[in-house]
Amino acid sequence: MLDGLADGIGRDSGKLELKDADGHSLRSENVRFASEDEALSLAARWLAEISELKPITVGHRVVHGGPHLLAHQLITPAVLAELRNCVHFAPVHIPTALRLITAAEKAYPEVPQFACFDTAFHTTIPEVGSRFALPRPLFDEGIHRYGFHGLSYESIVYQLGPELPNRTVIAHLGNGASLAAVKDGRSVDTSMGLTPTGGIVMATRSGDLDPGVLLYLLRVKKMNADSLERVLNRESGLTGISAGKSDMRDLESAAASGDQKAQIAIEIFCTGIRKVIAAYAAVLGGLDMLVFSGGIGEHSAPVRSSVCSGLGFLGVSIDAACNRSNASTLSTKGSKIQIRIVPSQEDLQIARHSRALLRGM
């Protein structure tokens, strides 16, 4: 098995690295990439130079498939046409996925490709959790809560296996961030909604807003759909609150130096997570396990500590030493709730689904 990373896409400097199954670097170069599909094309060339083995299938993470693409499946012309029709559901993500599918088809023209949808895991959410309080015709045409990060949540359920209790809240915290209430291994609620913009505050995304804010921006600020999308998805969240910082590592460093904007950004982020966990304990009828995942969830001890510090009334008690060392289990012996770190394995989950779908062809 090989592992790869393309970093800094769209920036002035970037990096492409391929590693073997033991984590040893096979090839690493500083490369500037204008787009994700450009990085994929170079990675395919490197793979051909490093190994004679060729992939038997290509799996893609597709964030949103709209109301009609809700299951992991073979990519066909009809699937591509449907994806093009629902770009408006995830304008930041779907165009990139389409470009990557095209690039993979050029690199491996005879290989079947599969779309693995982040929304698939959340199709088990009941209507009471998925419906917005809007007129019924809008619900019927697909305006409802879809939820995202499903592949990450699936991978965590898979990794925990028989250790997964009945009532679990998973916090996938990264550049994009969401939480899911998982009952008996199935999603019953999640913080993101119709699009990946909703839910808790994220690096550059606003999260949930009073709808009146959007009306204000349209009427008073005279924003159109494009400018509104830019503000909500690229200029808000932690970036907007802190006046420019979106990376949690930068925010924590600035906060430690007394930067009040960074401090309030982190506090808003952690408070929002804590509120959702408490709400999901109510949805689940109690809580047995709290899981942290994603780049921030797996690596930021201060964020985990802040989130857990206000949840003592639920029986959450975090071990400070274990938290500082990013141990797999963070709860104290006396904690009523298990607190775990489980790494997100979206790529492996895509591989699992692709293998299963290939065998079923």
Task: List residues with catalytic annotation.
Answer: 118
Specify whether the CB–CB gap between 307 and 300 falls below 8 A.
Answer: no
Enclosing H/E stretch for 59: strand 58-62
Give the span between the Cα atoms of 282 and 314, in whole angstroms: 10
Instruction: Read off the DSSP letter of residue 329.
Output: B
Residue type, 291: V
Both tokens of residue 153?
A: 């949540």
| Strand-pair partners of 181 | 169, 189
Query: Are 322 and 201 contacting, i.e. CB atoms less than 8 angstroms apart?
Result: no
Q: Which long-range contacts (CB under 8 A, 24 or more apart) does 224-227 make?
A: none
Cα 72 from Cα 61, distance rounded (Å): 10
**Residue position matching structure tokens 């999603």:** 187
Q: For residues 309 and 318, give the distance between their C-alpha atoms in angstroms, rounded to a whole number.
A: 8
H helices of the chain, in order, are 36-50, 77-85, 94-107, 127-130, 136-140, 150-160, 211-219, 225-234, 237-242, 248-256, 260-284, 294-299, 301-309, 320-324, 346-359
Tell me the longest C-alpha to C-alpha distance in the chain: 60
